[in-house]
Amino acid sequence: MSVKTDAPFYTEAELDALEATDPVAAVRIAREQLLLQKQLAQSVGVAAGELPTIDQLQAVIAEVRQILARDGGDIEFVG
């Protein structure tokens, strides 16, 4: 599972204001923020300085490969 740590977080007030003009975007952003917060909570070990294992790296590469394959791209693990 890859974690985006550079994503902006919108406050509840900002999401409420957006909901008034674009409710679909507000729901999408709120959902993405919730998922990101859960991912960040699960990656506490990485933030503490632990290096990922080979298995963890290969899992992330498999996830990225699926995303890149949509556009004809690819990625591989070279160990």
39-48: per-residue pLDDT in tens? 777 766 555 6
User: Within the chain, how many helices (H) and strands (E) appear?
Assistant: 4, 0
> What's the rounded Cα separation, in Å, for the pair 58 and 64?
10
**Residue that wins the pLDDT comparison between 49 and 58:** 58
Nearest in space to 29 (alpha carbons), one of 44, 49, 14, 46: 14
> What's the rounded Cα separation, in Å, for the pair 42 and 59?
15
Res. 2: pLDDT tops 70: no
